[in-house]
Amino acid sequence: MSEMLKFPQDNTDFNVALSTSLVLFGFDGAQLQLLVARSQREPFKDALFLPSRYLEAQDELMLSARSMFHGLFGYDEPEIIEQLKAFGGVFRHPLGRVVNVAFYALVRKEDFLAEKWEQYGMQWSPIDRVPDLAFDHNEIVAYAKERLKRRVKRRPVGFHLLPEEFTLGQLQSLYEQALGKTFDKRNFRKKLFKSPLLSDLERKATGREVGQHKGSSLFTFNKERYQRMKSEGYDFLF
């Protein structure tokens, strides 16, 4: 046990850095996407990677993740943000030992401060065509996709990615991409209509929004019912 509790001697540095990365999933009405940045410095200059930052000794993990989110979206309370795990491969960073504690969040793409960040190479990538990323960030993305899949199966988290008004076609497209499977249209809608989470707006889509077909019925997510269902327990299984 004493060996497990051994600390470095006085005046000895740990020589390990800590970083955090964000896997930010967004939906443009037709495609599930994630936000990537373009590196401005070596050793991966011009390579794509996840939005990331190094942490100071006093930085708290979740607060740091929320601070990064605030810089990108202008607020620090995303509906869904969760810590994934630590990625600590010895040689994951070419300049030294860096342990990365990654998070993922579900966002509305329209909230992204594009004018502020696109000049730094930030861009959205379709989830099924993620390019080669620097470091081990493809591994982080793969882990985040599995977490998203588990959440979508058992919780109505997909609604946090949709626009305020959406069609059933958009909802089905989102769930198919998140889960990596195809649903029968009739069975999918039958399952949805058993849930009280959808509110029919009794209006039709104009077809001007991405992914919305003209004449399709518009729906919204009933947040009050969702809060009641969360407190009472709910059955939402795909």
Query: What confidence score (pLDDT) does residue 2 get?
Result: 44
Residue 118 lies in a domain: yes
Query: Running DSSP on this structure, what letter comes out for residue 8?
Result: P
Query: What confidence score (pLDDT) does residue 31 get?
Result: 95
**Same domain, residue pair 92 and 162:** no
Which amino acid belongs to residue 26?
Answer: G
**Same domain, residue pair 164 and 208:** yes
Domain boundary among 143, 163, 182: 143
**Hunting for tokens 């390990």 — which residue is that?**
16
**Same domain, residue pair 58 and 119:** yes
Task: Report how many domains make up the chain.
Answer: 2
Residue 136 lies in a domain: yes
Query: What confidence score (pLDDT) does residue 1 get?
Result: 42
In angstroms, the CA 51 to CA 38 distance is 9
User: Which among 37, 40, 41 is positioned nearest to 49, based on CA atoms?
Assistant: 37
The per-type count for the chain, helices as H runs and strands as E runs, is 6, 9
In angstroms, the CA 7 to CA 58 distance is 19
- Domain range for 193 is 154-232
For the record, the structure tokens of 86 come out as 């630590």
Question: Phi and psi (nearest 5°) for 100?
Answer: -110, 125
pTM of the model: 0.88
Return the CATH number at 166.
Answer: 1.10.10.10
Query: What confidence score (pLDDT) does residue 233 get?
Result: 60
Q: Which residues of the chain register pLDDT less than 70?
A: 1-14, 230-238
For the record, the structure tokens of 100 come out as 């990365």
Query: What confidence score (pLDDT) does residue 230 get?
Result: 67
In angstroms, the CA 148 to CA 139 distance is 14
Query: What confidence score (pLDDT) does residue 13 get?
Result: 63
Residue 7 lies in a domain: no
Cis peptide bond prior to 163, omega within 30° of 0: no
Domain boundary among 101, 123, 143: 143
Domain boundary among 118, 143, 168: 143
For the record, the structure tokens of 114 come out as 């594009």
Residue 209 lies in a domain: yes
Q: For 99-122, what is each residue's pLDDT tens digit?
A: 999 999 999 999 999 989 988 889
